[in-house]
């Protein structure tokens, strides 16, 4: 009986230690003329694929707005420890931020319908995911 109790306590201690050792760091850079976004490490189980999401997914008008951007690229090789998020309209994309492969951040009040967000592997520039801010056609 005492060995079973000791084994249980050891397993519980190791599990708590693994949870406490998660990497929660991120580096960031702001789009020129914009304030640097605050990156918040998100809490979720490992991803099965690369994800890039916007909240809200659609804007009601052509007015600029802040948008929450969430990404999960933990499936990329471990030697690629940073990602980049580029923003723009088709060919005029600009680097918005560099970060760890998992997190979320708010844009400044500059996001419009039609804005394209592209998640890239910083090591080789490979595009991992792309999403477009939905909303009315603002021409």
| Full set of structural domains in the chain with CATH | 24-132 (2.60.40.10)
Q: Are 112 and 66 in contact (CB under 8 A)?
A: no
Q: Residues 6 or more apart from 77 whose CB is under 8 A from it?
A: none
Distances (CA, A) of 108 to 32, 33, 68, 121: 11, 10, 9, 23
**Which pLDDT value is given to residue 1?**
44
Element (H or E) spanning 13, and its range? helix 2-20
**Which pTM value belongs to this model?**
0.66
Per-residue pLDDT tens digits of the chain, which is 139 residues long: 444 443 444 333 434 343 334 433 333 334 444 555 565 554 444 445 889 999 999 999 999 999 999 999 988 766 667 999 999 987 789 999 999 999 999 999 999 999 999 999 998 889 999 999 999 998 7
Structure tokens given for 43:
């809490």
Distances (CA, A) of 91 to 88, 115, 117: 7, 11, 12
**Which pLDDT value is given to residue 77?**
67
Handedness of CA 118, 79, 102, 51 (dihedral sign): positive
CA distance 70 to 51: 8
**Which pLDDT value is given to residue 78?**
62
**Which pLDDT value is given to residue 36?**
53
Question: What DSSP string runs through 78-130?
Answer: TT---EEEEEESTT--EEEEEE-SEEEEE--TTB-TT-EEEEEETTT--EEEE
């Amino acid at each position: 009986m005492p060995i079973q109790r000791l084994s249980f306590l050891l397993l519980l201690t190791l599990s708590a230690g693994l949870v406490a050792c998660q990497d929660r760091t991120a580096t960031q850079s702001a789009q020129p003329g914009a304030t640097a976004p605050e990156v918040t490490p998100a809490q979720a189980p490992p991803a099965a694929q690369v994800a890039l999401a916007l909240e809200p997914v659609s804007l009601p008008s052509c007015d600029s707005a802040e948008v929450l951007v969430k990404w999960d690229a933990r499936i990329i090789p471990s030697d690629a420890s940073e990602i980049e998020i580029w923003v723009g309209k088709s060919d005029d994309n600009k680097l918005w931020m560099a970060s760890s492969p998992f997190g979320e951040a708010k844009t400044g009040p500059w996001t419009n319908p039609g804005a394209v967000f592209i998640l890239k592997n910083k090591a080789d520039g490979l595009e991992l995911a792309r999403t477009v801010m939905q909303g009315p056609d603002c021409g």
